[in-house]
Amino acid sequence: MSEKIAKVLSIIFHPVLLPTLGLLLLLNSGFYFTMLSWEAKRFVLLVVFFSTCILPLLSVAIMALNPRFNIMMPNSRDRVMPLLSSSIFYYLGFMLLNKARAFPEFKLFLLASVLVITVLLIVSFKWKISNHMAAIGGLAGTLFALSFRGGINPVYSIMIVVLISGLVGTARLILQKHTIVQLIAGYGLGFSILYCIIYFF
């Protein structure tokens, strides 16, 4: 894999885009909530996109007005404020879906993601864990939890997520953004929290 392709993959599967892309995949994976009307799906997608992508990006853009803030966030501590603001926006998305009486899986997805971000925030004070892998790991955990809980085997969706996981991990290594341990830690964190919360609750 070339460095250019690695950069493209890191952008396409960035943590701010993965919740929306992941929800699109889940809505077309054969689970019972895939029977929702297009209007209902569109509402959920808009809430998730707004709270997990638009608002976090706007907050980073505002932080970038400060010349002391490095938008590339090379150090772990540079990620503290963006992660803090993201956790607030994710919780806002959860509250909107809760008020709209959306399916519990959608609400749990955002609520569990808040927990993942909180742990990432705490870890980032001392160590540079991979946010990219935490995001794709969370999607994988969600998919497996729904599969085991519902007795459904969305084999193609699982194959897609596993493939993307490998590509994103390889891309981050090629770009020298993380070590293999940081990638595994991020993936394991996202997977375990999303899996446990969605499967058991």
Confidence of residue 29 (pLDDT cuts 50, 70, 90): confident
Q: Percent of the chain beyond pLDDT 90?
A: 63
pLDDT band at 164 (very low <50, low <70, confident <90, very high): very high
Mean predicted confidence (pLDDT) in 14-24: 94
- pLDDT(40) > 90: no
Record the pTM.
Answer: 0.91
Q: Work out the average pLDDT over 19-34.
A: 88
Q: What is the pLDDT of residue 72?
A: 67
What confidence score (pLDDT) does residue 66 get?
78
Predicted confidence (pLDDT) per residue in 124-134, tens digit: 888 889 999 99
Dihedral pair phi/psi, residue 71, rounded to 5°: -65, -20
How far the first Cα of the chain sits from its last, in Å, is 40
Query: How crowded is residue 72: how many other Cβ atoms within 10 Å of its Cβ?
Result: 7
Other residues' Cβ atoms within 10 Å of the Cβ of residue 22: 26
Average per-residue pLDDT in the chain? Answer: 90
Following DSSP, what letter does each residue of 15-61 receive, concatenated? TTTHHHHHHHHHTTTT-GGGGS-HHHHHHHHHHHHIIIIIHHHHHHH
Region of poorest pLDDT, from 32-46, 113-127, 138-152: 32-46
Is residue 65 scored above 90 in pLDDT?
Answer: no
Q: Residue 86: its pLDDT value, please?
A: 92
Report residue 113 as tokens. Answer: 């993601």
Query: Is residue 101 very low, low, confident or very high in pLDDT (cuts 50, 70, 90)?
Result: confident
* d(C-alpha 17, C-alpha 24), whole Å: 11
What single letter denotes the amino acid at residue 6?
A
Q: Is the pLDDT of residue 154 over 80?
A: yes
